[in-house]
Structure 1
Amino acid sequence: MTNQPRGLLIDEPFGAVDRLARVALEEELLRLWERQTVVFVTHDVGEAVFLANRVVLLSPRLGRIQRIFEVPVARSRLRGQKRLLEIEAKIYEALHLTPLSI
């Protein structure tokens, strides 16, 4: 057991909480993992872009990487930030979907 793990694997941790709680938890998670490697699994494109330095889009064929998107935005991110929305739109385009409006 360690108090300082080198990495964390987190799979859909906020799926069962309401939107306001999810936003608060995402903000807290960003604060906590500043110096930690985290693999965060989510189906929420906006959440992925907001939290990640890099978004890995998996293909329908299990275990295959379809594309990797870099998120070159400083960690002091704001929801709805233009650059984040542009990256989100590129991911939706790769998925052949239209971005969801809030």
Structure 2
Amino acid sequence: MTKEFWTVTEVVEIFEVDERFLLELEEEEVLCPICRDDPPSKLFSSAELEKLRLAKILIDDMGVNLPGVEIILHMRQSIYKMRTQFDDILEDLAAHLRETLKKNS
């Protein structure tokens, strides 16, 4: 069974970043942790950890600034959504084509 959420302490340790970096990513709306009230804490999902991993690569290896990271990750998400829509359209088109070919056979 894989873990569903990670604490700030775990994320800081796993990714070797400081809490300030996580806060900056939150401020730029790159990361959106789940906030709990009792006890007060922030939790990060697997999807948020993947965004953090990509942000760290973009910043450390490619020299992208935080606003640039936000734009890149937003564009990446948009591309995935468009790809899913395109796959759905192709699937519908293929089904329609199969149906038409069956009728004409």
TM superposition score category, shorter chain reference = under 0.3
TM-score relative to the length of structure 1: 0.24
Question: Is the strand fraction higher in 1 or 2?
Answer: 1
TM-score in terms of structure 2 length: 0.23
Greater share of helix: 2
